[in-house]
Structure 1
Amino acid sequence: MLRSPLTPIFLTVLVDVLAMTLVLPLLPFYAQHFGASPLVVTVLTASFAACQLISGPILGRISDSAGRRPTLLVSQMGTFIGFLILGGANSLWMLFAGRIIDGLTAGNLSIAQAYISDVTEPENRTKAFALIGIAFGAGFLLGPAASGFLAHRFGYAAPAFGAAALSFTSIVVTWSLLREPSRKASEPTPGEGAEGSSPKMEQPRGRFALVAWFFGRPAPRLWLLQFLSFSLSFAMLLGGLALFLERRLEFNVEQTGYVFAFSGVVGGMLQGGMGKIARRFGEERLVLWGLLFMAAGNALLGFTFNLPTLLVSIFLGAIGGAVVRPSVTTMITKSVGRTEQGAVLGVSQSLTSSSQIVGPLIAGWLIQHGKLSAFGLVAGSFALIGAVRLLVLRTGAAAKTA
């Protein structure tokens, strides 16, 4: 592992996720400190995602042409500046400024995924993408707990400045350890060959044209839609969980951090074995079962009134998310050629951003109007829609071959 080309990108993602999770449980309490309502809190979350929606495909295409490493460095520098502004905020508009700057340069994850696609073969890709899941698990284990501890004892600015320090560390890691991968531009993936497309097909210019181009092709459309179902469910949960816990169970910022940490423990434990699990069951089946677990966990949240039920809900959702993320990302990259992987992952990042706009806003509206049970049920329904879609397609395919 230490000599693997994946080691630097894993370290980079790990530090970035740690920084992100330091801020994540903090924002609702930080914004309410400046007088924000639940809906405004989720608008703050959505502002980051809206900017990310604009920049995601652009950064993906730039990384395809200019290289992964320089594009990643620019993205990380923007994140660093955004966290500094967040730490120095003395008003609500400064919180918005910090999140907007971070969002406009937020291509870290999609570029890291494209890098992994560059240096791995398709059959090893799920195991490699699981490294991102491990980084997320470790980040959610350490970051939220540290955020709650720091905010409770030193004020809301402390976690934000801690995130800035970690972000600066990720810049140093990328600059000193990460090498630009050599991409086999002429080699198609199995998914591309099956679709009959050419790796030399010219990509359209423009964000919406690029999204329409990939959605116009059956193979990437299928898995991008599954990714959208996952993202909507996950984003709604993530955007509203702190507010839900504050109102339903009267949790403070420190207790909320520990809930996020528990989710990280569960997800991280599963990620280490994702390579073997994927080889045994296949990515398509894992996406289906992961979405079903997410649907069950999020729906159960709506009926949560005590700690044991909460832990079961978070446990189910964390297992589902840990399984779906690397599996569906692998299927997306297998559905296109190598020269398109940065672009299609940029589109998937745009879907994430769209979900992080829509999901938190729905969560904020429901919570502000006291519809706490509906919050969990709606979040679960997004995952269930994806699972049903995949079940219908699998049943139809089986009927045709029978």
Structure 2
Amino acid sequence: MLRSPLLPIFLTVFVDVLGMTLVLPLLPFYAEHFGATPLVVGLLAASYAVCQLVSGPILGRISDRVGRKPTLLASQVGTFIGFLVLGSANALWVLFLGRIIDGLTAGNLTIAQAYISDVTRPEERTRAFGLIGIAFGGGFLLGPAISGFLAHRFGYASPAYGAAALSLTSILLTAAVLPANPRAPAASPGAPATASARPAPIGRGNAFRRFFDRPLPRRRLLEFFAFSLSFSTLIGGLALFLERRFEFDVEKTGYLYAFSGLIGGSIQGGLIGRLARRYGEERLALLGFAAMVAGYGLLGVAYNLPTLLLLVAVAAFGAAVVRPSITTLLTKSVGRDEQGAALGVSQSLASISQIVGPIGAGWLIEHRALAAYGLMAATFAACGIFLGLQKIPAGEPVES
């Protein structure tokens, strides 16, 4: 790992995710502090996603043309400013402003994934994308616990300022250690031709149409959308659910997020590569979706802490294996010089899910429909299973 070309991107993503997870469990309580209802909390999450929906594919295409590093730096600067605004908030509208600024420049993860595609062979990508999962797992392990501790003892602004400091650190890391022109990997000896060898469609057509007109990229994007809808619904309402069902405050909520991060990071740090080699990305994604259905769908019957922890562990395993598997399958289904744009489209779909999921979760929780909240998240994951079981259209190339 020390000599790996992935080390610089791992470091920058880890610091970015750590900053993000400082804010994630904080926002519902921060917003309620200014009088927000659960539905308004959902709208706060959606405001970030609406802006990200606009910026995602644009930043993906820009990174294909001008390079990953300068685009990533611009995105990180926006995140830094957004966190500073959150820390200075004295009214609910300032929280919205901070999330809007961050959303308009939100391309960190998309660009990092495109960078990984640049420097890895197709057969290595699931394990490589697992590094993003390790960063998320580590971030979710440390960030929410630190956030809960800081918010409980020093007020809601302190985690936001801590996130800003981490964001500045990430900017400095990117500027100092990330190569501006990463070297593409050599092809494996005897490797079959892959989707990346196909000529990329070039033109000014809509990026969504470019990929949705082709059966295999369309399927992969829809699978990613099902995952994102499920995960965004769960995360968008989890703090509110815990507050109402278990009377958790921001500190206890942070510790539960940390437990989930421990499970996810353990899976992606030590098992994801072996699981992918043994089962393949398609079957691994199906297994993960099934775990998400079980973990989310049974939340409504969780009334004690051991049951809650068991369901969180099952669901965390599912999310930990689905994300890198689907991302790998997506990058294999398009040409190498399309990968940034395809991942940008996937980020736009994630943004749509981050609009629908939190608003739906907030509305259900506001009406005390706590069991329906979990079932909504489980239903979206079940759609991922349905998509994964469909046969690949005749004549469509299969990813290697």
TM-score (norm 2): 0.94
Please show how residues 349-364 of structure 1 align to structure 2 within 5 Å: 349-364=347-362
Q: Deviations over 1:262-317 (max 9, x none)?
A: 00000011002211211111001111110010111000112111111111111111
Select which of 311, 317, 320 maps to 1:319: 317
Please report how far the alpha carbon of residue 79 of structure 1 lies from its aligned counterpart in structure 2 after TM superposition. 0.1
RMSD, aligned α-carbons: 2.0
- Inter-partner Cα distance in structure 2 for 1:176 and 1:186: 26
Select which of 212, 227, 230 maps to 1:230: 227
Select which of 331, 334, 343 maps to 1:333: 331
Q: Which residue number corresponds to residue 387 of structure 2? A: 389
Unaligned runs of 5+ in 2: 396-400
Contact 2:121 2:185 in 1 (8 A): no
Contact 1:49 1:103 in 2 (8 A): yes
Select which of 199, 202, 212 maps to 1:215: 212
Unaligned runs of 5+ in 1: 398-402
**Structure 1 residue 26 and structure 2 residue 26: aligned?**
yes
The 3 A distance-change label for structure 1 pair 78 and 395 is closer
Q: Which residue number corresponds to residue 88 of structure 2? A: 88
- Inter-partner Cα distance in structure 2 for 1:170 and 1:306: 39
Please show how residues 296-311 of structure 1 align to structure 2 within 5 Å: 296-311=294-309
Partner amino acid for 2:260? S
Please report how far the alpha carbon of residue 185 of structure 1 lies from its aligned counterpart in structure 2 after TM superposition. 11
Contact 1:184 1:338 in 2 (8 A): no
Q: Deviations over 1:81-125 (max 9, x none)?
A: 000000000000100000000000000000000000000000111
The 3 A distance-change label for structure 1 pair 185 and 61 is farther
Please report how far the alpha carbon of residue 190 of structure 1 lies from its aligned counterpart in structure 2 after TM superposition. 4.9
Contact 2:38 2:365 in 1 (8 A): yes
**Structure 1 residue 244 and structure 2 residue 241: aligned?**
yes
Is 89-98 or 178-187 further displaced after alignment?
A: 178-187
- Inter-partner Cα distance in structure 1 for 2:243 and 2:23: 17
- Inter-partner Cα distance in structure 1 for 2:226 and 2:109: 19
Count of equivalent residues: 391
Q: Which residue number corresponds to residue 99 of structure 2? A: 99
The 3 A distance-change label for structure 1 pair 356 and 84 is same
Secondary structure of the residue aligned to 1:302 is helix
Contact 1:227 1:328 in 2 (8 A): yes
Select which of 363, 369, 372 maps to 2:370: 372
Contact 1:39 1:361 in 2 (8 A): yes
Please show how residues 145-224 of structure 1 align to structure 2 within 5 Å: 145-182=145-182, 190-192=193-195, 198-205=198-205, 209-224=206-221
Q: Which residue number corresponds to residue 400 of structure 1? A: none
- Inter-partner Cα distance in structure 2 for 1:125 and 1:252: 39
Q: Percent identity?
A: 65
Partner amino acid for 1:341? Q
The 3 A distance-change label for structure 1 pair 32 and 179 is same
Q: Which residue number corresponds to residue 136 of structure 1? A: 136
- Inter-partner Cα distance in structure 1 for 2:243 and 2:95: 21
Contact 2:83 2:98 in 1 (8 A): yes
Please report how far the alpha carbon of residue 203 of structure 1 lies from its aligned counterpart in structure 2 after TM superposition. 4.0
The 3 A distance-change label for structure 1 pair 394 and 301 is farther
Q: Which residue number corresponds to residue 263 of structure 2? A: 266
Partner amino acid for 2:236? G
- Inter-partner Cα distance in structure 1 for 2:54 and 2:333: 24
Q: Which residue number corresponds to residue 398 of structure 2? A: none
Partner amino acid for 1:230? F
Please report how far the alpha carbon of residue 54 of structure 1 lies from its aligned counterpart in structure 2 after TM superposition. 0.3
Q: Which residue number corresponds to residue 51 of structure 1? A: 51
Select which of 249, 253, 258 maps to 1:256: 253
- Inter-partner Cα distance in structure 2 for 1:184 and 1:142: 33
The 3 A distance-change label for structure 1 pair 160 and 381 is same
Partner amino acid for 1:37? T
Contact 2:133 2:265 in 1 (8 A): yes
- Inter-partner Cα distance in structure 2 for 1:10 and 1:121: 17
Please report how far the alpha carbon of residue 183 of structure 1 lies from its aligned counterpart in structure 2 after TM superposition. 6.1
The 3 A distance-change label for structure 1 pair 314 and 69 is same
